[in-house]
Amino acid sequence: MAQHTHMPLRRLGTSGLSVGAVGMGVMPLSIGGRPDEAAALATIHAAAEAGITFYDTADSYCLDHTDIGHNERLLAKALKDHPEALIATKGGHIRPDGSWKVDGRPDYLRAACEASLKALGQEAITLYQFHRPDPQVPFAESLGALADLQREGKIVHIGLSNVSVIQLEAARSIAKIVSVQNRMNIFDRSSIDVLKRCEELDIAFLPYSPLNGRGRAGQIGEHEAISRIAAAHEASPQQVALAWLLQLSPLVIPIPGASRSASIQNSAAAYRVQLSAEEVATLDAFATV
């Protein structure tokens, strides 16, 4: 939708790169219940038309080990004519039987990065994120593998996902970190300390599940106060939830997931909603974590 194409930009930490204030989490297009390829490509194209330039993916966004890289290949196909798009991928999760397991071994991460390069059709991955720390592998060894890949020119920038402040500090002693991707939304503030440290360090914070996904607090639109604020702004409850995140910090770039064009077009317009201090305080009171 043309009216969304003037989405403001936000800096991706100290990377020197800027992307649209709202990104897209592309996982729903590749896991169970995914749409067919034509519909998936149409959803990504709708995101691009709405001004989204940051796309979050991972090799493990797929059905199982036979499907590894599905989401990356989909994005590469959809965005081949969009040089402004930044595709950020991740390594460290595996899908042996369709379940989610971790593998932070350096040899595995190297092989995963090589496979992602092939799936994306790129010579270097602009932002490669360590998907989740592996309790069986020293964190420094996992990060060391990414630092080696960066020195070899296969990764441009390194990011982290699902980390604590202590892990962020440990990673910073090994490599320059430009982004952290943790769960964050109106109901779940469990990573607020990580966001505060990111602000001190000028590191981008990429909230995943910004609309609460399958969270225990229920759907965003089921809460009367959120719906009331949305009505006052002629916006959707989802746009209000994203606006709250955008106003938390200028370093926040939320990445709402979508499996339909209408959903991502709605999310992309969230930057238009400017919440008052009173509305922010009302939304702040929803925290459950």
**Which residue in the block uniquely carries the two structure tokens 């910090």?**
249
What is the Cα–Cα distance from 155 to 147, expressed in whole angstroms? 8
What is the Cα–Cα distance from 134 to 141, expressed in whole angstroms? 10
What is the Cα–Cα distance from 23 to 35, expressed in whole angstroms? 20
Listing DSSP states for 156-203 in one string gives EEEEEES--HHHHHHHHTTS-EEEEE-B--SS--TTHHHHHHHHHHT-
- Is residue 108 annotated as a catalytic residue, yes or no? no
Backbone φ/ψ region at 92: left (φ over 0), alpha (ψ -120 to 50), beta:
left
**Which tokens is 273 given?**
């909603």
- CA 262 to chain CA centroid, nearest Å: 19
Rg of the chain on CA atoms, in Å: 18
Residue 91: HSE in the Cβ half-sphere, 13 Å Cα cutoff = 25
**Which tokens is 88 given?**
């950020």
Confirm if 72 and 57 have CB atoms less than 8 A apart: yes
Name the DSSP letter for residue 130.
E
Active-site residue identified among 61, 108, 208, 271: 61
Pairing mode of beta strands 101-102, 93-94: antiparallel
Residues recognised as catalytic: 61
